[in-house]
Amino acid sequence: MVISVNVASEIPNYKMSFDFRFLKSLVAPLLFFFFINSIAQSPPDTLFFKDRIQLLSSDNIFKTEGYYNWGASIIKDKKGTYHLFYSRWKKDYKFTGWLTHSEIAHATSRSPQGPWKFKNTVITGRGKGKWDAITAHNPKIKYFDGKYYLYYISTNLGEKDFTEKELIETAHTGYNHANWKILRPNQRTGVAVSNSINGPWTRMGKPLIEPSGPITTLTVNPAIDKGKDGRYYLIVKGDKPNEKRFVRNQAIAISKSPLGPFEMQPSPVIDYLDTEDMSMWYDAKRDYFYGTFHAHTMIGMISSPDGINWKKATEYALMPKKSLWLGDSEIIPDRMERPFIYVEDNQPQVLSMAVKKGDESYTVFVPIKEKEELPVPNKRQLAWQQAEMGAVFHYDLHVFDGLKYGQGNNRIDPVKDYQVFNPEKLDTDQWVKAAKDAGFTFAILTATHETGFALFQSNVNPYGMKALKFQDGKGDVVRDFVNSCRKYGIKPGIYLGIRWNSFMGVHDFKVNGEGDFKVNRQKWYNNMVEKMVKEICTSYGELFEIWFDGGADHPDNGAPDVLPIVQQYQPNCLFYHNGQLAEARWGGSESGTVSYPSWATFPYRATGAGESAKENIAKNGFQLLKTGDPNGGYWMPAMSDAPLRGYNGRHEWFWEPGDEAHIFPLNNLMEMYYKSVGRNSTLIMGLTPNPDGLLPEPDVQRLKEWGDEIRRRFSTPIKSAKGEGAKLVMKLEESRIIDHVIIQEDIKFGERIREYKIEGLVNGKWQLLAQGQSVGNKRIEQFDAVKVKRIRLVVTKHTKTPKVKNFSVFFVNK
């Protein structure tokens, strides 16, 4: 039964219709959430380096015969020598001997990447009666105000007088030995001080800090740096208080001296995830603190503008803990922990990690490539630009309601009966094959749009396929779509509309209502969205693009925190986009075209969208989005989008009856191709399946005609060339008539061409055929047919040496 419920007593002036069985699942949970605090948006966190992490070489692996090596902390002396402090213990004690028999050793190298040469052992346990009686482990080396500080963890013996035999037995047995439960709570963090990197080291008589506040049991695995305020910020790990499970918290303590006393802060650094092994540094250039950690599945990063209030970094998920690559060989570790970032001149240089494989443990030093002078694409952006053409299939409840689609109304008024969703001939193979015939290389489906209805089997969004009579509630259009994409060799992507949700009363990211009820509803909605994004990211294999319609607002504004979820579970997926990051940009119109020139670089890391765009982006009719900025500091290529049914005064993203006359003619589509793909933009075409679950036949036919025409014109060049430098000359076998040229830069190295001209040798003289500015991934130039013997590309203005990967000539004869 469909009922209309007026909830005006809770949310003034708001009315929605839904199936009664959802009332409990939707409304009741809202009443149990706590008040959400509004957070003032802090300055942006702008550190990005994960896409510059390189492969390993043999020099980057540090092993010691007869020992387990574990962890790393690097410092550079005034003479340019790099010093490594690390943990090691003899294999005789087994791997779990770290608790009882670890020592801190010192090695040197001419590079932070290695190879490393052992120098000496610097710290061991001092014996009974000392706070650091046994083991010395997990060092961090720092230089503060003319002295070296070596922070480390150790274990006191407590009241029991352990014999060496008992300690060895504990080490051999490991975590299940009764002594482990006695010794583990005795672990603490301390420091040794020296005037020289080579010692001698003076140790303190007691630990630096005891567990309190957000941690209990122990204080271990220190990470420390000095802030711009002259104070020292120390992160230590302990157990999470009042937690029955084995969960660790990270806490922050502050002191005016690197020796303490340190004052524990009440708020944890991380309490939403079981994490270990923090490495932390203050970035003076960005005026930000950064920390890396390892969790069960990934190496992650957090950030803080003040050293006290920490959150997930914009680049939260640095890498999964699945494997490392030594050249062409894959290393699949049993354990990969202790991430440490060596930073020099505020730039990350090396990511070191401790690796265990079988009975070997060693430290790896993964190089981080120096940032290029020019912005360059990451691997996701490169793949997206080279894909050139894609489709976005729009499918939602209002395709079935028999009413004319109006975006303004559909954002606000829910569809009265969701059971109208009944595509009896649903065939996603037919959709995707049509996209393939058009030459599209990727396709995107609206898993949710402005109604909020989910086209997949969601366990967190009750308004979706599980609620339908269609296919007995077991249907999953997303699953079918992704399977069809893989069948036809098309890369699948997902569109998620979270900015609007007419069913749940969400308008421009915000829920309806007032007071605590509104706050609780927002909390519930954010939680649902985050879990829904995780479902999409973990249920359908690797995705090519995730598109948040209208963007997702910045989490500092109280919006769902979606970026870290995508980064963690879909590391190879293009992220488009939220208030923190846009890996592509909207091209400023829905005409399927961009202005010329169109540069792939942009002055901001994120754009916003529509009315939420930054002021400098929105002005002059979104001109900056249309053209980009040749001097922009971020790589953010343009997307051109348009609906196939957008001709002759219409602009339909969803199917409506009688709209066949508004399918773009072939000539218009070809012009669109020239002014999008041919102007360094990726074209995404909106397609509209009908209520039967099929793409209408006129659309299918037009797509095939379009693909055929693109292939006719550009699949067989007369001749092609590539090269480096400001001039590229192509000699033809004989004089030929030409009317088109395609130029492509090798954009892995950035956009280097600023101005160019194309000349043909006509009757012994060079004649100007075309000239332009931006090239990027692809520039298509067309001109009057002319007979030439030679043709040349002359770059008249460039930044660094131009790298042209394709210079091809054609006779299209339109």
Per-residue pLDDT at 14 exceeds 70: no
SS3 content of the chain, % helix, strand, coil (to 5): 20, 40, 40
Contacts of 411 (CB under 8 A, 6+ apart): 450, 500, 502, 507
Amino acid code (one letter) for 247: V
Answer for the pair 183, 170: CB distance below 8 angstroms, yes or no: yes
Q: How, if at all, do strands 727-745 and 765-772 pair? A: unpaired
Residue 574 dihedral angles phi and psi, to the nearest 5° = -65, 135
Q: Residue 300 pairs with which residues in a beta bridge?
A: 293, 317
CA 414 to chain centre: 33
CA 172 to chain centre: 41
Q: How confident is the model at residue 509 (pLDDT cuts 50, 70, 90)?
A: confident
Q: Please check whether residue 34 lies inside any domain of the structure.
A: no
Would you state the pLDDT for residue 34?
31
Domain boundary among 682, 714, 746: 714
Q: How confident is the model at residue 28 (pLDDT cuts 50, 70, 90)?
A: very low
Q: How confident is the model at residue 407 (pLDDT cuts 50, 70, 90)?
A: confident
CATH number at residue 780: 2.60.120.260
Per-residue pLDDT at 35 exceeds 50: no
Would you state the pLDDT for residue 178?
93
Residues 668, 755 within the same domain = no
Greater model confidence, 621 or 353: 353
Distance CA 292, CA 276 (A): 9
* The token pair that represents 293 in the structure block: 């950690």
Per-residue pLDDT at 584 exceeds 80: yes
Would you state the pLDDT for residue 2?
33
Half-sphere exposure of 290 (CA within 13 A, CB side): 27
Min mean pLDDT across 18-27, 622-631, 676-685, 788-797 is at 18-27
Residues 511, 453 within the same domain = yes
Strand-by-strand arrangement of the 574-578 sheet: 574-578, 545-552, 491-496, 442-448, 389-393, 681-687, 638-643, 585-586
Distance CA 319, CA 364 (A): 14
CA 298 to chain centre: 13
Residues 758, 708 within the same domain = no
Could you check whether the bond before residue 414 is cis, i.e. omega within 30 degrees of 0?
no
Q: How confident is the model at residue 15 (pLDDT cuts 50, 70, 90)?
A: very low
Segment 675-708, tens digit of pLDDT: 999 999 999 999 999 999 999 999 999 999 999 9
Residues 196, 229 within the same domain = yes
Would you state the pLDDT for residue 660?
92
Would you state the pLDDT for residue 183?
95
Domain boundary among 650, 681, 714: 714
Segment 125-177, tens digit of pLDDT: 999 999 999 999 999 999 999 999 999 999 999 888 899 999 999 999 999 99
* The token pair that represents 307 in the structure block: 């050293």
Would you state the pLDDT for residue 754?
98
Segment 212-246, tens digit of pLDDT: 999 999 999 999 999 999 999 999 999 999 888 88
Strand-by-strand arrangement of the 147-155 sheet: 134-144, 147-155, 187-194, 202-203
Distance CA 355, CA 288 (A): 29
Q: Mean per-residue pLDDT for 427-455?
A: 97
Question: What is the DSSP secondary structure assignment for residue 33, as one 8-state letter?
Answer: P
Would you state the pLDDT for residue 42?
63
Q: Please check whether residue 12 lies inside any domain of the structure.
A: no
Residues 696, 759 within the same domain = no
Q: Mean per-residue pLDDT for 378-390?
A: 98
Would you state the pLDDT for residue 412?
83
Would you state the pLDDT for residue 611?
56
Q: Per the structure, how many domains does the chain have? A: 3
Greater model confidence, 253 or 19: 253
Segment 98-112, tens digit of pLDDT: 999 999 999 999 999
Would you state the pLDDT for residue 244?
82
Per-residue pLDDT at 36 exceeds 50: no
Residues 425, 496 within the same domain = yes
Segment 652-673, tens digit of pLDDT: 899 998 889 999 999 999 999 9
Residues 703, 723 within the same domain = no
CATH number at residue 669: 3.20.20.80
Domain boundary among 666, 698, 714: 714
Would you state the pLDDT for residue 408?
74
Would you state the pLDDT for residue 403?
80
Per-residue pLDDT at 487 exceeds 90: yes
Would you state the pLDDT for residue 553?
87
Q: Mean per-residue pLDDT for 577-606?
A: 95
Per-residue pLDDT at 621 exceeds 90: no
Per-residue pLDDT at 383 exceeds 60: yes
Would you state the pLDDT for residue 25?
39
Amino acid code (one letter) for 452: G
What is 603-670 written as a DSSP string?
SSS----GGGS-HHHHHHHHHHHHH--TT-SEE--EEEEEESB--TT--BSS--TT-GGGSPPHHHHH
Q: How confident is the model at residue 609 (pLDDT cuts 50, 70, 90)?
A: low
Going 112 to 118 to 119 to 120, the CA torsion angle's sign is positive
Q: Mean per-residue pLDDT for 644-648?
A: 95
Distance CA 224, CA 257 (A): 11
Q: Mean per-residue pLDDT for 298-321?
A: 96
Helix orientation angle between 666-674 and 697-714, rounded to the nearest 10 degrees: 50
* The token pair that represents 570 in the structure block: 């879909």
Q: What is the mean pLDDT of the chain?
A: 92
What percentage of the chain reaches a pLDDT higher than 70?
94
Q: Please check whether residue 525 lies inside any domain of the structure.
A: yes
Contacts of 752 (CB under 8 A, 6+ apart): 374, 745, 798, 799, 800, 801, 802, 803
Q: How confident is the model at residue 612 (pLDDT cuts 50, 70, 90)?
A: low
Radius of gyration of the chain (CA): 30
Q: Mean per-residue pLDDT for 1-29?
A: 34
Q: Mean per-residue pLDDT for 182-192?
A: 96
Would you state the pLDDT for residue 199?
96
Q: Mean per-residue pLDDT for 560-577?
A: 96
Instruction: Give the domain range for residue 295.
Output: 50-367
CA angle centred on 251, ends 250 and 254, rounded to 5°: 145
Question: What is the DSSP secondary structure assignment for residue 227, as one 8-state letter?
Answer: -
What percentage of the chain reaches a pLDDT higher than 90?
84
Q: Please check whether residue 772 lies inside any domain of the structure.
A: yes
Segment 38-56, tens digit of pLDDT: 334 567 788 999 999 999 9
Per-residue pLDDT at 11 exceeds 70: no
Residues 700, 725 within the same domain = no
Half-sphere exposure of 381 (CA within 13 A, CB side): 28
Q: Please check whether residue 128 lies inside any domain of the structure.
A: yes
Per-residue pLDDT at 27 exceeds 80: no
- At which residue do the structure tokens 């944890």 appear? 268
Would you state the pLDDT for residue 4?
32
Q: Please check whether residue 262 lies inside any domain of the structure.
A: yes
Segment 531-550, tens digit of pLDDT: 999 999 999 999 999 999 88
Could you count the other beta carbons within 10 Å of the beta carbon of residue 259? 15
Q: Mean per-residue pLDDT for 591-605?
A: 96
Could you count the other beta carbons within 10 Å of the beta carbon of residue 768? 11
Residues 470, 613 within the same domain = yes
CATH number at residue 240: 2.115.10.20
Would you state the pLDDT for residue 613?
67
Counting other chains too, the contacts that 435-438 makes at CB distance below 8 Å and 24 or more residues apart are 435/390, 435/391, 435/488, 435/490, 435/687, 435/703, 436/488, 436/489, 436/490, 437/700, 437/703, 437/704, 437/707, 438/389, 438/391, 438/685, 438/703, 438/704, 438/706, 438/707
Greater model confidence, 514 or 476: 476
Residues 315, 395 within the same domain = no
Residues 337, 435 within the same domain = no
Per-residue pLDDT at 395 exceeds 60: yes
Q: Please check whether residue 9 lies inside any domain of the structure.
A: no
Residues 419, 565 within the same domain = yes
Distance CA 385, CA 147 (A): 51
Q: Please check whether residue 3 lies inside any domain of the structure.
A: no
